Homo-oligomer: A and B are copies of this chain.
Amino acid sequence: MQLLSCPGFAAAGLAAGIKKNGRKDLGLIFCERPAAVAGLFTRNRVQAAPVRLDRERIPRGRCRAVIVNSGNANCCTGEEGDRRARRMARAAAQALGVAEEEVLVASTGVIGEPLPIDCIEQAAPALAAALRPEGIADFAEAILTTDRVPKGVSVERETASGRFRLTGVVKGAGMIRPDLATLLCFLLTDLEAEAEALRPLLAEGAARSFNRITVDGDTSTNDTVLLLASGASGVGLAAPGVREAFREALGEVMERLARWVVRDAEGSNKVVDIVVRGAASEADARRIAEAVAHSPLVKTALFGEDANWGRILAAAGRSGAEFDPAAVNLYVGPVQIVAGGAGCGKEAEAAATEVLRAEAFPIVIELGRGPGTASLVTCDLSIDYVKINADYRS
């Protein structure tokens, strides 16, 4: 991971003692001047205290800092949880000398345990003192839970109106599903922009990225995506050529981060695009893609590198979508293994098995019924997924 620092921002990450294993668990992003901010949050009806606090504060459209902890989700923690989320923001505000309403918060980790707020309050001054432009790498590490590696992507773009940068970091691993498939994602740019202009771009980027990935069908109570614009480049989003370049850069960064979340997901060994074409409608295409992408039988077959196309058809068949099974074509990578609803034989399956050995490939389902298309990115269901999630709290 090679991350570019983003002008106008400093970041830090350290071990505050929230995680039992002594790893980094507290991160901070500081904006030298008030940054424009847009956010997206989980649609789960159960929402963590930090999500509720951010929802309250983000309509202001401006913020000075984001403080994030891992190791504890501060969710299902009642009114005391809300108070501790506020205390967490206040600790950062005091250490930074900014107003507490200008601080956003995020948490990830175990649900239902009291947030160890004392650790956080004690660590806040050291965290503020550690802020550096290149601190984003430490920050990326501090927000991890069962992730295997820190995940971040930076791009720099030249436009007719000047150059800008965009750096994103993400934390994923479990509880990943469309409708905000990541737990936490922070995107920093040095463009000059208003919050209102950022919001639709962020929503569009999410539709193309995090809302198209799925690991286990479970959505988190803490999902948070924040986009902050410092303005330090002096390049305005509204200037000629900038908006298009930024939309494209944001889409690329978010899509790369989303795929990385799948690749780094709990126990994941494969990144698989489930592509549905020719469905009666887009909704039907989406139904089939979701049924296939979430099917434990399909996902264990992917883990076993088994070209078990019958499971794919069976999952499509129970999706509720309308189609004629006798018209279905199926491809694994470039290899067709089903034609007109029936298998293409042992040779095709052997060729498909070769494709399945790769780390990433598409599975394409053609229904020949209408114009509906959809695609999702999923991963396999491995023995390690079960091990990790059976042992997570112990």
Interface 9-residue window, one of A20-28, A70-78, A255-263 = A70-78
Query: Is there contact, CB below 8 Å, between B386 and A317?
Result: no
Q: How far is the CB of A279 from chain B (nearest CB, A)?
A: 12
Q: What residues on B are CB-neighbors of A321 within 8 Å?
A: 45
User: Complex: how many Å from CA A260 to CA B297?
Assistant: 21
Asked if A385 CB lies within 8 Å of chain B CBs, one says yes
User: Complex: how many Å from CA A326 to CA B250?
Assistant: 37
Q: What residues on B are CB-neighbors of A343 within 8 Å?
A: 76-77, 112-113
Interface footprint category on A: 35 or more
Q: How far is the CB of A158 from chain B (nearest CB, A)?
A: 42
Partner of A318, one of B44, B295, B391: B44
Partner of A342, one of B77, B306, B310, B381: B77
Q: What residues on B are CB-neighbors of A111 within 8 Å?
A: 308-311, 313-314
Q: What residues on B are CB-neighbors of A315 within 8 Å?
A: 218
User: Complex: how many Å from CA A343 to CA B73?
Assistant: 13
Q: What residues on B are CB-neighbors of A392 within 8 Å?
A: 301, 304, 306, 308
Q: What residues on B are CB-neighbors of A77 within 8 Å?
A: 342-343
Query: Is there contact, CB below 8 Å, between A110 and B389?
Result: no
Q: What residues on B are CB-neighbors of A317 within 8 Å?
A: 44-47, 219, 221
Query: Is there contact, CB below 8 Å, between A296 and B381?
Result: yes
Q: A300-B386, A338-B76 are contacts. A295–B217 as well, Cβ < 8 Å?
A: yes
As a 0/1 sequence over residues 361 to 379 of chain A, the CB contacts with chain B under 8 angstroms (1 = contact) are 0000000000000000000
Q: Who on chain B is nearest to A315 by CB? A: B218
Q: A76-B342, A383-B383 are contacts. A316–B46 as well, Cβ < 8 Å?
A: yes
Asked if A165 CB lies within 8 Å of chain B CBs, one says no
Asked if A151 CB lies within 8 Å of chain B CBs, one says no
Q: How far is the CB of A153 from chain B (nearest CB, A)?
A: 27
Q: How far is the CB of A350 from chain B (nearest CB, A)?
A: 13
Asked if A125 CB lies within 8 Å of chain B CBs, one says no
Give 12 CB contacts A-B under 8 Å: A45-B316, A45-B317, A45-B323, A77-B343, A112-B313, A174-B297, A175-B297, A219-B317, A220-B314, A296-B381, A303-B390, A308-B393
Chain A contacts to B: CB under 8 angstroms:
43-47, 73, 75-78, 81, 110-113, 174-175, 177, 179, 216-221, 294-297, 300-301, 303-304, 306, 308-311, 313-319, 321-323, 325-326, 338, 340-343, 381-383, 385-387, 389-394
